[in-house]
Structure 1
Amino acid sequence: MSTVLLHKENGVGYITLNRPETYNSYNREMALTLQAHLDDCANDETVRCVYMTGAGKGFCSGQDLSEAMSPSPEDFERMVREHYNATILRIRNMEKPVIAAVNGVAAGAGANLALACDIVVAKNSASFIQAFSNIGLIPDSGGTYFLPRLVGMQRAAALMMTAEKVSGPEAVAMNMIFKSFADETFEEESKKIATKLAMMPTRGIGLTKKLLNITYDNTLEEQLDAEKHVQMEAGATHDFKEGVMAFLEKRKPVFKGK
């Protein structure tokens, strides 16, 4: 059985981390397989949204420590670069929305894998843990980039240094994630979001993501200029024309993601 599963349905690429016996701890095989599936979804025009979750009781418990026993500096560098950085960049550079559906514990790199996604939803019983300090490491996988931007520097520092567990509702309250749902309705509610996004103007959403990726690096003037140029791209899409026609004709638009 593959360490990461992929199936496609109604415009959604459903990716499932599949090492439930280890709460989907991350190893080399999982990293490379996940990257291949992300590439597949990015290049498949029929996939207009990606939905990532975990098999069993966990989302991802972070690095499989059995693969990280007494690593050399070169091993550490390769692991971070090839396993984690390459995955995070694929998520951020994909011009399609990526949803993290956190169904259980998301610890260490598993938490930051989720936070790198465009929309994060969780079960009420799920938990997010910046577990790195428990073993003397620093938060990688973009954790020091995304978490301060989501919850503020003070809270991010506290969560990273203390490794305090954060529940789904607590994560919503501190603006870490979008929504949390009761455990019994989580799968239905989270998949509704994916289904909705798969029917929306995919190019426009992808271009929105492109602008969000650069907003913290730009001045206001630079961001306004970027919006001007990207809006020209959006205005040339099929879906913009369809949206306008549907509005004028008082009907529901049928977007094609082009």
Structure 2
Amino acid sequence: MPRPARGRLSAMGHTAAPVLYRPGKIAQLLFNRPKVKNALDAESWRLLAEALDRFERDPGARVLVLSGAGGEFCSGADLSGNINGSSEQVAAKMREIASIIVRLHGMPKPTVAKVDGVAVGVGMSIALGCDLVIASDRARFGAVFSRHGLVPDGGLSWLLPRAVGSHRAKELTLTGRLVDGAEAGRLGLATTVVPAGELDAVTGRWCERVAACSPVVAAETLDLIDRAWTTSFPDALEAEASAQQRAVAALRG
């Protein structure tokens, strides 16, 4: 099989794959089913898990950027392949998907969702599962599960209240309404919102700044902040002291 050209996004050498990955200091993951606004089928989930493995194992990779082809981030799960079968089979599939999103959210390296167009359903879950969300002014976020007779999944029932608060999370999930880029910024769904034409450049600049952070400091900082939701203030201070000890040790080599 020919070797992919340098810098080209690829998945096992196939640029037509539904998820493409490009290694590097700032690694790139592209959802690549533009005809269905990058809805995720079974193969997409498999390749997403594989890309996360590659990113985590690569010592030269500092930041992972997730984006979508065709001006859309991700329209959620491909329901034609995910709600077939018994309710027990559907639940089992959801648990498989959950394990992948848990890995994304718990990644010891920074992850960035670059959101243009739709990020709905589990696509919204994936975006909020990243450490930073950089959105364009044409982005649209939506917890649209209720429109399909489904409850939030992909961790959205946990991620969304932490981003916007309990009452707003209930409103967004029960109505399934779409939130545009400007409102996403106001609500806290997006870290920052920029004009669509500036999305690539702004994301690149943010990622360069984040990538300048040492791997030890990045991992320890992400862990401290994520654990803050479930720890006491005294325990957080003790965790900071332990993490600082490791950071100083790494700094001194």
Alignment TM-score > 0.5, same fold: yes
Give 1:187-206 correspondences, 5 Å limit.
187-206=200-219
Q: Which runs of 5+ in 2 are unaligned?
A: 1-15
| Residue of structure 1 equivalent to 2:18 | 3
1:160 aligned partner, one-letter code: T
Q: How many residues align?
A: 238
**Residue 121 of structure 1 contacts residue 177 of structure 1 at CA under 8 Å; is this kept in 2?**
yes
- Per-residue CA shift, 1:9-30, capped at 9, x if unaligned? 4x11101011111100011100
| Residue of structure 1 equivalent to 2:31 | 17
Q: Secondary structure at the match of 2:23?
A: strand
| Residue of structure 1 equivalent to 2:185 | 172
| Residue of structure 1 equivalent to 2:131 | 118
- Cα distance in 1 between the residues matched to 2:54 and 2:234: 36
Q: Which runs of 5+ in 1 are unaligned?
A: 242-257
- Cα distance in 2 between the residues matched to 1:210 and 1:5: 27
Q: Secondary structure at the match of 2:133?
A: strand
* Alpha-carbon distance, 1:173 to partner: 0.7
- Cα distance in 2 between the residues matched to 1:112 and 1:55: 18
| Residue of structure 2 equivalent to 1:39 | 53
- Cα distance in 1 between the residues matched to 2:156 and 2:83: 22
- Per-residue CA shift, 1:140-182, capped at 9, x if unaligned? 1111111111111111100000011111111111112100110
* Alpha-carbon distance, 1:4 to partner: 0.7
Instruction: Give me the CA root mean square deviation.
Output: 1.3
Is residue 143 of structure 2 the alignment partner of residue 130 of structure 1?
yes
- Cα distance in 1 between the residues matched to 2:207 and 2:163: 22
- Per-residue CA shift, 1:83-108, capped at 9, x if unaligned? 2x122111122211000001110110
1:2 aligned partner, one-letter code: A
Q: Secondary structure at the match of 2:88?
A: helix
Choose 198-207 or 44-53, whichever is displaced more.
198-207
Give 1:134-173 correspondences, 5 Å limit.
134-173=147-186
1:6 aligned partner, one-letter code: Y
- Cα distance in 2 between the residues matched to 1:72 and 1:58: 31
Q: Bigger relative contact order, structure 1 or 2, given CA contacts below 8 A and separation 6+?
A: 1
Q: Which of 70, 75, 91 is the aligned partner of 1:56?
A: 70
- Per-residue CA shift, 1:108-162, capped at 9, x if unaligned? 0000110010000111001000000001111111111111111111111000000
Provide runs of 4+ in structure 1 moved above 4 Å: none
Percent sequence identity is 32
TM-score, length basis structure 2: 0.90
**Residue 152 of structure 2 contacts residue 173 of structure 2 at CA under 8 Å; is this kept in 1?**
yes
Q: Secondary structure at the match of 1:60?
A: coil
Q: 1:102 to 1:153 in 2, by over 3 A?
A: same
| Residue of structure 2 equivalent to 1:248 | none
* Alpha-carbon distance, 1:69 to partner: 4.1
